Amino acid sequence: MNHTKERGLTMNLMFPGRPHLSWAIPILYFLPIINHISLSPTYKIFWLLHLIPAMFLTFYYGLRGGLIGASLSLVLCSLTEFLYYNLGVAYTYENIYSLIVYNSVNFMISIGMGFLTDRLKKQQQEIKNINQVLLESNQRLKQNEEKIRHLAYYDSLTGLPNRHYFQEQLKEKLDAIDEQVDQQIAVMIVDLDRFKVINDTLGHEFGDLLLRQVAHRLTSSLGNDEIICRQGGDEFFILLGDTSAEETKLRAEHILWSISFPYMINDHELYVTPSIGISFYPQDGTSSDELLKHADSALYRAKELGKNRYHFFTEDMDGQNSKRLQLESGLRRALDKKEFKVYYQPKVDIRTGEWIATEALLRWNHTKLGAIPPDQFIPLAEETGLIVPIGEWVIREACKQNKKWQDEGYGPLTVCVNISTRQFLQDRLLRVIESALEESGLPPQYLNLEITESVAMTDVDRCIEKLNQLRSLGVRLSLDDFGTGFSSLSYLKRFPIDILKIDQSFIQDMLRDTQDAAIVRTIINVALNLNLIVTAEGVETSDHLEFLANEGCQEAQGYYFSRPLPAYELEEKLPKKPVSL
């Protein structure tokens, strides 16, 4: 490039006598860039002519002072000089003018179109973003609706439907029944026996894990068209559609069987049994409320009869719920009102006929209802937790009475006291026993604590630990109602017990039922081989006594010897003997 010419152009542009050309000064900043790019002159012109309109418009509208007074001819003249001396291209004024106008228009159009395009793209992106937000909100709304529905209709612990869902399904089935067709629907209420004891003593974590396993077993026991829900706590509802009494009975028996197997929870082996109440449409009710109410009445009757069984609703149960509430209310005041009494039934040495012990049995004489059978109020006391203070009172009364008999010379009798499930699992049981012995002055070897087989199997390891603690006090221990639970010989040899008591249900039928007779013989043989004393409950005839004596049973109690009596009546039959303490 000719540097002399470049300097001349620069001088002309900057010459003070030609101020109208000062607008072109910014173009000089672009010349080194364009001039040093490896492009053909044609492309250089192309890019320059695209820059000129931009600079022209910019400086005209932004820095008008540099062009004031300048004519178009002067502008074209300066551009012609610029193109010729810097790019070596000769253009006429008309050519330059056309290019400026053409490129300026195109430039403005491109600017406008670019602006509109950018605005359109932004609006499209905004619409897209809004659509995405709406889509995500809709998805979250559906998820929240599903969560709300799940919370409304399903139990969070077990994943089973809840009572609300069950009642809706029951109502739908009832509404869909054709009254012209003979169709029967069964409603079951399943309640776990002694669950509250496990939950209160082992903790809610154990209780929750147990409920999940029970729910799984119940679900596995039902068909696809049968509905199960968790009502709350340890209660479950089951709906059997279009069924018969015989089919329902088989289903209930299967549930009893499946739930009664042991549960392994955190290295603890637990046993629970269910009680089941059953009602039928249409004979027991035509609405969901009636069917559930009557199934609950049947459940209560099943518990009264000893638990671990099912029971169908009958019309005579209608008034039982109100009576139950009355009993519960009276039970809470019975201790303060001194309505409880302790009766005693003797235990006899079969070989000698000597009275060797008494069993303390609780009796309740309600001020308005009169004598209440134990099988009515004991389960209620267990369920409400009132059995704990009542049981502690029985222990103290029995110890005081036995010490009184000994002081009066009635012989070295041992007093036997039943310990309920809830009582046995209480941490304070040892302190209660120690306190009762200390207050009464009764030597510990004359107190025999009886726990049922079902209590022992609730939590085997915990039971063995508690039995060892009680044994360290010097008291004697018995396993009551043996043969009705689920214990095995491997557990029996681990229990630190002294006496094995055969349940009276086997004794009463052993002379008529060969299987019961075989069970009694087996229990006696097992106990003797384990160096345990065997006591038979429910002995009512001389034939019973003779059979037991021939099989090697050592002790017996029952109506054959004496019914349970108040302490003052039993004293009339007790022989007086010196006591060696």
Numbered ranges of CATH 3.20.20.450 in the chain: 336-570
Q: For 154, which DSSP code?
A: B
pLDDT at 548: 95
Q: How far is CA 534 from CA 379, 384, 548, 558, in A?
A: 27, 33, 10, 14
CATH 3.30.70.270 correct for 163-319? yes
Angle at 223 (CA atoms; ends 221, 229), nearest 5 degrees = 70
Over 50: is that where the pLDDT of 23 sits?
A: no
Share of the chain above pLDDT 90, in %: 36
Lowest-confidence pick of 72-76, 468-472, 516-520? 72-76
| Residue-by-residue DSSP string for 3-41 | HHHHHHHHHHHH-TT-GGGGGGGGGGGTHHHHHHS---H
What is the predicted pLDDT for the residue at 311? 93
The reported pTM is 0.63
Q: What is the pLDDT of residues 182-215, one digit of tens each?
A: 788 999 999 998 888 788 777 888 889 999 999 9
**Alpha carbons 65 and 145: distance in angstroms, whole number:** 69
Q: Is the pLDDT of residue 561 over 90?
A: yes
Q: Looking at the predicted structure, is the pLDDT value of residue 580 above 90?
A: no
Asked if the model's pLDDT at residue 547 lies above 80, the reply is: yes
Look-up of token digits 């017996």: 556
Q: Are 195 and 234 in contact (CB under 8 A)?
A: yes
pLDDT at res. 525: 92
Residue 16 has pLDDT above 50, yes or no: no
CB 309 within 8 A of CB 275: yes
pLDDT tens-digit series, residues 343-375: 999 999 999 999 999 999 999 999 888 999 998
Q: Which residues contact 362 (CB under 8 A, 6 or more apart)?
A: 340, 341, 342, 343, 374, 378, 390, 394
Task: Phi first, then psi: give them for residue 108, nearest 5 degrees.
Answer: -65, -40
| Mean of the per-residue pLDDT values of the chain | 79
Residue 400, pLDDT above cutoff 90: yes
Assign 125 a pLDDT band (cuts: 50, 70, 90): confident
Q: Where in the chain is the domain with CATH 3.30.70.270?
A: 163-319
CB within 8 Å of 280: residues ≥ 6 apart:
184, 185, 186, 187, 245, 248, 291, 312, 313
Residue 112 has what pLDDT? Answer: 53
Question: Who has greater pLDDT, 121 or 53?
Answer: 121
Contacts of 9 (CB under 8 A, 6+ apart): 81, 82, 85, 86
Query: What is the pLDDT averaged over residues 485-513?
Result: 83
pLDDT of res. 411: 78
Superfamily classification of domain 336-570: EAL domain (3.20.20.450)
| 289-306 per-position pLDDT tens digit | 899 999 998 998 888 787
Give the pLDDT of residue 487: 55
Q: How far is CA 247 from CA 185, 250, 292, in A?
A: 11, 5, 19
In the sheet with 227-232, reading across from the earlier edge strand, the strands are 227-232, 235-240, 185-193, 273-281, 310-312
Select the more confidently predicted residue: 429 or 305.
429
